[in-house]
């Protein structure tokens, strides 16, 4: 843990959204679009602690997919356009609002896990407290 003290705490927002290492802020977090690297190439931080699970997809569904689908439904109900209009308007809007935020959100969640030292919950099997 002494090695961890050599690194100043960095904002999870600044490092994660840009896909940088949450410890040094210089190395890369991703090896591809969403695939995580095994470790940082600059400071050597092992990224095995990171498990964002379905978090990025959940946030994208709530904050991007629902409004994008609502826009497509509004266009359909209000204007009743031909199908090709949805292909030119609704589909690109849906793809842009659903795919582009995935990487920054995943980076932010991983950096937040590191910053707040999040880990799996453990039950304390110690002596139960006594009542007075």
Average of pLDDT values for 8-15?
94
Q: Can you give the residue range of the structural domain that contains 94? A: 2-115
- Determine the Cα–Cα distance for residues 34 and 98; give it in Å rounded to an integer: 13
Residue 125 lies in a domain: no
pLDDT band at 131 (very low <50, low <70, confident <90, very high): confident
Residue 132 lies in a domain: no
Residue 30 three-state SS = strand
* 39 contacts: CB under 8 Å, gap ≥ 6: 45, 46, 47
Residue 88 lies in a domain: yes
Residue 127 lies in a domain: no
Q: What per-residue confidence (pLDDT) applies to 5?
A: 65
CA 76 centroid distance within chain = 32
Q: What per-residue confidence (pLDDT) applies to 2?
A: 42
- Residue-wise pLDDT for 66-80, tens only, equals 999 999 999 999 999
Q: Would you say 15 and 25 are in contact if contact means Cβ atoms under 8 Å apart? A: yes
- Determine the Cα–Cα distance for residues 116 and 99; give it in Å rounded to an integer: 27
pLDDT band at 6 (very low <50, low <70, confident <90, very high): confident
Q: Would you say 111 and 50 are in contact if contact means Cβ atoms under 8 Å apart? A: no
Q: What per-residue confidence (pLDDT) applies to 92?
A: 95
- Residue-wise pLDDT for 86-106, tens only, equals 999 999 999 999 999 999 999
Number of structural domains, the chain? 1
- Determine the Cα–Cα distance for residues 43 and 7; give it in Å rounded to an integer: 10
Residue 124 lies in a domain: no
Q: 112: closest CA among 11, 6, 7?
A: 11
């Amino acid at each position: 843990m002494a090695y961890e003290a050599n690194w100043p705490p960095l904002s999870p927002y600044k490092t994660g959204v840009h896909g940088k290492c949450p410890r040094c802020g210089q190395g890369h977090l991703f090896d591809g679009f969403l695939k995580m690297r095994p470790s940082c190439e600059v400071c050597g931080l092992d990224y095995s602690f990171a498990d964002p699970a379905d978090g990025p997809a959940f946030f994208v569904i709530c904050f991007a997919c629902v409004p994008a689908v609502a826009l497509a439904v509004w266009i359909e109900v209000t204007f009743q356009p031909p199908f090709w209009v949805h292909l030119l308007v609704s589909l690109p809007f849906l793809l842009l609002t659903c795919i582009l935020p995935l990487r920054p959100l995943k980076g932010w969640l991983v950096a937040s896990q590191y910053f707040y030292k999040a880990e799996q919950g453990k039950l304390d099997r110690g002596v139960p407290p006594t009542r007075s």
